[in-house]
């Protein structure tokens, strides 16, 4: 019994997390149903650390894994979300896990599944959830971690998670990076913070992914506008993205978008982006975010538009047919001078739209937190997204600061910094979005973002007419601006005298 941690599931994420944990001095016993994966990680550990210093031990059963662990056991799972998590949990029960053992799920699980699992496994072991972002490189050298669940379990796992998490330089707010095996980053602020009761961490990760969908779609729309309306090549656009990446739009997604656009296809030597089929995949976390936003009634149209944009992209055959039947406007030709200023406007349009997407994500978390009784610390959440995760960006430092200045901020758009930023750039934003529409170039996420902004800042919306419509056909009642809130009225639309009645509760 010499291993500190048991690790089950040695796919790309699991094996990289295991090596990351071992880098920080922990001895890890690992197991996968596929023995080849166990052999592969042992070989990797030895290659990186040397035979004598190897810290990973292989197991060929759940029982063997438990037999190698110090008590109480700490076991981390990295298996596909859904049924496989329960499958492993049942095997662990059969193998003899105890009530004070801790099992940590790190998959992209649906947050409600985590809530149910804590309840379901009570008395058998402590189920704890930790959402992980950062893809395979993040898992290996420092992910962003969103742990939630039993506070005792957190005290046990905290040192491990804080050690393996991505680190931020507290002075600059930027990631401290090292991609050298066996030589991890030790200093800096770790991108791991206790989020709250079980499920809260996976909820926050789900919203992270919803924001990720919006962020990616917005970048794709900027690319599409430059490609179509400005006739720019992928290489030109990559260069523009690199310039934008030096400023307020600095982010991992901007950086990798430039790299994707620069990539040549090894087969045809054209830009790879031109041979990649334009049908977007999705594993479901963006959809979950959109569904949750609809359920709790928190407007998140830019995130939802991004999910729909993926769905519409997948209707490739229909789009190809429609492209020969449905007309659009004549493309306007731009002079070099006009193109130059349109690119700068587009940078600001992307930035303002991005602020709205994040505002929606944070607003959604706040609404859900109220509904579920979670006390989410939004400044901390923004901080742990500054490094390690897919949406990492300098911008998150400004979000953290906004919530540090006002922890009860109703909406990010109301933070003085962001309201000033949008005031400064909104005319460029409006120009870009209207030019795209005039040219018939779809930009659903940018358009939804500007409508979100305009709706949010409008004191009187046409929902008054809507309430009238509802009352007309369904006697659904309305409230009046000049009567106490909550008091309901109905007018008898079919009666020529239109008597109004106050509805008694």
**Residues within the interface to ligand 6PG (CB under 6 A):** 108, 133-135, 209, 212, 281-283, 285-286, 389-390
Q: How far apart are CA 232 and CA 367, in angstroms?
A: 42
Contact 396, 385 (CB under 8 A): yes
Minimum gap (Å) between residue 201 Cβ and ligand 6PG: 13
| Selected catalytic residue, list 48, 118, 189, 212 | 212
Asked about 189 being catalytic, the answer comes back as no
Tell me, rounded to whole angstroms, the distance of Cα 504 from its chain centroid: 45
Tell me the C-alpha distance between 337 and 432, whole Å.
Answer: 15
Q: Which is nearer to ligand 6PG, 16 or 435 (CB)?
A: 16
How many other CB atoms are there within 10 angstroms of residue 53's CB atom? Answer: 11
Nearer to ligand 6PG, 58 or 175 (CB): 175
Nearer to ligand 6PG, 65 or 300 (CB): 300
Nearer to ligand 6PG, 232 or 390 (CB): 390
Query: 37, 44, 205, 383: which is the annotated catalytic residue?
Result: 205
How far is Cα 140 from Cα 138, in angstroms, rounded to an integer? Answer: 5
Helix ranges (DSSP H) in 245-300: 252-262, 285-296
What secondary structure letter does DSSP report for 406?
A: -
Active site annotation includes 205: yes
Length of the chain, in residues:
505
Closest contact distance (angstroms) between CB of 283 and ligand 6PG is 4
133 versus 360: smaller Cβ distance to ligand 6PG: 133
Nearer to ligand 6PG, 278 or 424 (CB): 278
Closer CB to ligand 6PG, residue 229 or residue 381?
381
Which strands make up the sheet holding 126-133, listed edge to edge? Answer: 56-58, 28-31, 5-8, 74-77, 102-105, 126-133, 144-148
Task: Give the SS3 label for residue 333.
Answer: coil
Mutual angle of helices 336-372 and 200-228, in 10-degree steps = 170
Shortest Å, Cβ 285 to ligand 6PG: 5
Structure-token pair, residue 192: 């791991």
List the beta bridge partners of residue 145. Answer: 132, 192
Give me the least distance between CB of 389 and ligand 6PG, in Å please: 5
Q: Which residue's CB comes closest to ligand 6PG?
A: 133
In whole angstroms, how close is the CB of 137 to ligand 6PG at the nearest point? Answer: 10
Least distance between ligand 6PG and beta carbon 421 (Å): 26
Least distance CB 187 / ligand 6PG (angstroms): 24
Q: Which long-range contacts (CB under 8 A, 24 or more apart) does 363-367 make?
A: 363/298, 363/299, 363/300, 363/410, 363/411, 363/412, 364/207, 364/210, 364/289, 364/292, 364/293, 364/296, 364/298, 364/300, 364/303, 365/203, 365/204, 365/207, 366/298, 366/410, 367/296, 367/297, 367/298
Task: Give the catalytic positions in this structure.
Answer: 205, 212
């Amino acid at each position: 019994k010499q291993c500190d941690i048991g690790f089950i599931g040695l796919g790309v994420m699991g094996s990289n997390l295991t090596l990351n944990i071992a880098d920080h001095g922990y001895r890890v016993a690992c197991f996968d149903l596929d023995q080849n994966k166990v052999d592969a990680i042992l070989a990797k550990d030895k290659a990186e650390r040397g035979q004598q210093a190897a810290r990973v031990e292989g197991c060929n059963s759940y029982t063997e894994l438990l037999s190698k662990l110090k008590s109480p056991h700490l076991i981390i799972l990295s298996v596909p979300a859904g049924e496989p998590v329960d499958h492993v949990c049942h095997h662990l029960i059969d193998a003899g896990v105890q009530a004070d053992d801790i099992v940590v799920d790190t998959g992209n699980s649906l947050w409600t599944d985590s809530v149910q699992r804590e309840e379901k496994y009570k008395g058998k072991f402590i189920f704890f959830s930790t959402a992980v972002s950062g893809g395979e490189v993040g898992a290996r050298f420092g992910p962003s971690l969103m742990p939630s669940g039993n506070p005792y379990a957190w005290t046990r796992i905290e040192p491990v998670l804080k050690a393996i998490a991505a680190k931020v330089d507290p002075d600059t707010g930027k990631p401290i990076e090292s991609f050298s095996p066996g030589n991890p980053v030790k200093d800096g602020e770790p991108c791991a913070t206790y989020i709250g009761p079980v499920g809260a961490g996976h909820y926050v990760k789900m919203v992270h992914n919803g924001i990720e969908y919006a962020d990616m779609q917005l970048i794709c729309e900027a690319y599409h506008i430059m490609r179509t309306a400005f006739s720019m090549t992928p290489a030109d656009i990559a260069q523009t993205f690199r310039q934008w990446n030096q400023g307020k739009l600095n982010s991992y997604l901007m950086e990798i978008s430039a790299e994707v656009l620069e990539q040549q296809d090894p087969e045809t030597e054209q830009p790879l982006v031109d041979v990649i089929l334009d049908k977007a995949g999705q594993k479901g976390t963006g959809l979950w975010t959109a569904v949750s936003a609809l359920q709790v009634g928190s407007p998140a149209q830019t995130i939802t538009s991004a999910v729909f944009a993926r769905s519409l992209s997948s209707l490739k055959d229909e789009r190809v047919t429609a492209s020969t039947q449905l007309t659009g406007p004549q493309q306007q030709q731009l002079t070099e001078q006009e193109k130059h200023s349109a690119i700068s406007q587009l940078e600001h349009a992307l930035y303002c739209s991005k602020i709205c997407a994040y505002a929606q994500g944070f607003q959604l978390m706040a609404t859900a937190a109220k509904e579920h009784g979670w006390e989410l610390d939004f400044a901390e959440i923004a901080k742990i997204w500054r490094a390690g995760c897919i949406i990492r960006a300098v911008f998150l430092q400004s979000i953290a600061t906004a919530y540090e200045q006002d922890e009860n901020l109703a909406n990010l758009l109301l933070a003085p910094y962001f309201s000033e930023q949008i005031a400064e750039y909104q005319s460029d934003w409006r120009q870009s979005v209207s030019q795209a529409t005039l040219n018939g170039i779809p930009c659903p996420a940018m358009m939804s973002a500007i409508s979100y902004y305009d709706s949010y800042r409008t004191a009187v919306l046409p929902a008054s007419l809507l309430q009238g419509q509802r009352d007309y056909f369904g006697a659904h009642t309305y409230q009046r601006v000049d009567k106490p809130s909550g008091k309901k009225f109905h007018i008898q639309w079919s009666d020529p005298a239109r008597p109004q009645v106050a509805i008694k509760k």
